[in-house]
Amino acid sequence: MNDISDRSIMTALGRQLTLAVAKQSVGASNLANLDTPGYKTQGVSFDDVLSQAQGGAVVAVTQAGHLPGLANAAAGTQVTNVEGLATRRDGNNVELDRELLQMSRASGDFAAAQTALAAKFRLVRYAIAESK
Please tell me whether residue 80 adopts helix, strand or coil conformation.
strand
Q: pTM here? A: 0.71
Residue 18: predicted pLDDT: 92
Name residues whose C-beta falls within 8 Å of residue 31's C-beta, 6 or more positions apart in sequence.
94, 96, 99, 100, 103
Listed in sequence order, the residues at least 6 apart from 85 whose beta carbon sits closer than 8 Å to its beta carbon are: 41, 93, 95, 98
**Tens of pLDDT along 97-110?**
999 999 999 999 99
- What DSSP designation does 44 have? E
20-50: per-residue pLDDT in tens?
Answer: 999 999 999 999 999 999 999 999 976 655 5
